[in-house]
Amino acid sequence: MKTELKNIHFSYYTNSGKEYNISLSYQLFGKDLFSAPVILVNHALTGNSDVAGEKGWWKQLIGKNQVIDTDQYTVLCFNIPGNGYDDFFIEENEDFTASDIANIFLQGLEILNIKSLHAIVGGSLGGGIGWEMLTKNPPLAEIFIPIACDFKTHDWLHAQCLVQKFLLNQNDEPLQKARIHAMLCYRTPQSLNERFQNRYNQKKHRLESEDWLVYHGNALNERFSLKAYRLMNHLLMNIKSDESQLQKIKANIHLIAVDTDLFFPASEIRMCFEKLNENKDNVFYYEIKSIHGHDAFLMEYQQLNTIIKNIL
């Protein structure tokens, strides 16, 4: 299983007309390129290309003898340029939208000489970028698995990202505060209430739930950059796949929602399914049942693995 970080460099004009020298880094896992079907995995907001192996953030899903079996597939994951995992940052985050990232990923595939994909799998922001890629190149993949995401940013998500933007643009612990707010979007009232039950930490003089939120804010601040977070939040605010092209996507589309998701509500994903299902017979809908909300796609592995195993 190969895990070293590789880089492609090229010039790119954004949709807003700005020229950038892009450093697109990626990792490959499993079979050698061109020796097996390729599955592209698009990472979420604070994720990166390290999806499998010892430190892989999706190692419960991708690896030897896992549902996405690295003995059967070549797994490719690009870093969203500017996420900082490869020390490449973008200063002017508002020059880019999710559409630009999709263009950059498509250019990356072209440079790697990958003409078609067995599947695109993406959670949250990564799934939104997957939608953008397929509306631009409808025959690209045989299977598309967008998880806990939709083909566009709805008003509710935009509003949450707007609060994030306000927090990220202030001076006092911006990243920590934005992360604390985000955790409340990623989880649910029931998830927090059941877990902490108003327990009080006498030593720290605060509720355990508060301590948990502060921990998550500080932990992200240590491993992620403010520049990168601002960019990712801006991308999340600007997922706008061309609706007129959705019907042209050739892939079998398997939408996976979480019944309690407060970020990308299941009702919106169901509406997308129903709309596509009117004219397409290769669209399917699944729902993860969980009290944990949006983050369930990173927690409810038994359900997610069962769904994806049946798809693949």
What's the pLDDT at 3? 75
Domains of the chain and CATH, by start:
6-154+239-311 (3.40.50.1820), 155-234 (1.10.1740.110)
| Continuous H helices in 113-244 | 125-136, 155-168, 174-186, 189-196, 208-223, 226-237
Residue type, position 6, single letter: K
User: What is the pTM assigned to this prediction?
Assistant: 0.96
Q: Which pLDDT score is estimated for 2?
A: 52
Place of tokens 């729902």: 287
Phi and psi (nearest 5°) for 207? -65, 150
Q: Which of 268, 306, 311, 293 is nearest to 60 (CA)?
A: 306
Quote the pLDDT of residue 109: 98
Helix (H/G/I), strand (E/B), else coil: 269: helix
Q: How many CB atoms lie within 10 A of CB 299?
A: 19
User: What stretches in the chain show pLDDT beneath 50?
Assistant: none
| pLDDT value for 1 | 52
Give the pLDDT of residue 11: 97
If one counts every other C-beta atom within 10 angstroms of the C-beta of residue 254, the result is 23
Nearest 5 degrees, angle CA 134-CA 136-CA 140? 45
